[in-house]
Amino acid sequence: MKKTLSHGTKWNLRCICCLVPSFLGIAVFFLLPYIRVLYYSVINNQFQKKFVWFDNYIEVLSNEYFRLAMKNSLLLIAIGVPVLLLLSLLLSFLLSFSMRKFAFLRDLFIFPMVVPTAAIVLVWREFFAASETALPIYVLFVWKNLGLCIILLTAALTTVEKEIYESARLDGAGALRLHLQISVPLITPTLFFTLLLAIMNTFKIFKESFLFYGGKYPPDHSYTLQYYMNNNFLKFDYQALASASVLTSVLVLVIVFAGLSLQRRVQS
């Protein structure tokens, strides 16, 4: 007798077949290049290919420009991300509870996502021509990512049942208590996701900063990890580039796992 596959088994096979192209794409365009980067980070150069193990990492960590870039990148996370998240949360409350009255604001917040970067930088240069701090980059980061964060948080707030708010109002809860004790706890998963997404986007502000300062060597206060890696790429120093890339990926993984651990503790 021929064995026939059950309906569940057939469905699982179809799902696996649909996932195979994605897994192949991840392997070809992410895993294999990352393994190659790891290899370059532990050899002396791409010609002799002699293993030096952690010597490249020690050299990068002792480099003053790498330490400066790391400090500025962490400062952008520590200052820019909380400001972005707070503004996004406040504006999301405004839009979700006064949707008709402030509906026109939704288009304004999406606007930065569709405007070409070069056009944004031209305007920024006019506004911050006399600035000698990293403020232009911080403001640009917040302005450019505000729309996406608002979309995510507003979508989460619309899933909260209105009956919960009505019951809280009947019990005498004010607006501040309503949001702090009801809205924020209920949208905690989306809030943490938005936080992690904002942190990841701090590493993508290089193009805007590069165009704003018009060169590969910005002022010290705006020299980030992307500048360090870009300059080493231009100098063909692949060992420093690979080591810095691995260290940056480790930093990102630590941030992500710390955020997920914090989320589990808050929800438990």
Are 179 and 154 in the same domain?
yes
Percentage above 90 pLDDT, the chain = 29
- What does the block give as tokens for 253? 């993984």
Q: What is the tens place of the pLDDT at every residue in 59-77?
A: 999 999 999 999 999 999 9
- pLDDT at 102 (0 to 100): 59
Are 21 and 153 in the same domain?
no
3-state helix, strand, coil in the chain (%, to 5): 80, 0, 20
104 with 98: CB under 8 angstroms? no
pLDDT(242) > 60: yes
Residue 117: domain span: 56-267
- Domain-located, residue 2: no
Nearest to 137 by CA among 199, 76, 215: 76
Percentage above 70 pLDDT, the chain = 91
Are 199 and 227 in the same domain?
yes
Mean pLDDT value across the chain: 84
Are 139 and 224 in the same domain?
yes
How buried is residue 215: exposed, middle or buried, by Cβ count under 10 Å (0-12/13-18/19+)?
exposed
Radius of gyration of the chain (CA): 24
The rounded distance, in Å, linking the Cα atoms of 42 and 49 is 9
- pLDDT at 2 (0 to 100): 46
* Strands, E assignment, 20-160: none
Q: What is the tens place of the pLDDT at every residue in 211-226?
A: 888 877 889 999 999 9
The pTM of this model reads 0.84
Nearest to 69 by CA among 239, 243, 198: 243
Q: What residues contact residue 112 under an 8 Å CB cut-off, 6+ apart?
A: 120, 143, 144, 146, 147
CATH number at residue 221: 1.10.3720.10
Domains of the chain: total: 2
Average pLDDT rounded to a whole number, residues 151-168 = 81
- What does the block give as tokens for 207? 């193009």
Are 98 and 128 in the same domain?
yes
The rounded distance, in Å, linking the Cα atoms of 190 and 184 is 10
- What does the block give as tokens for 154? 């507003």
- pLDDT at 105 (0 to 100): 66
Are 93 and 206 in the same domain?
yes
Are 15 and 112 in the same domain?
no
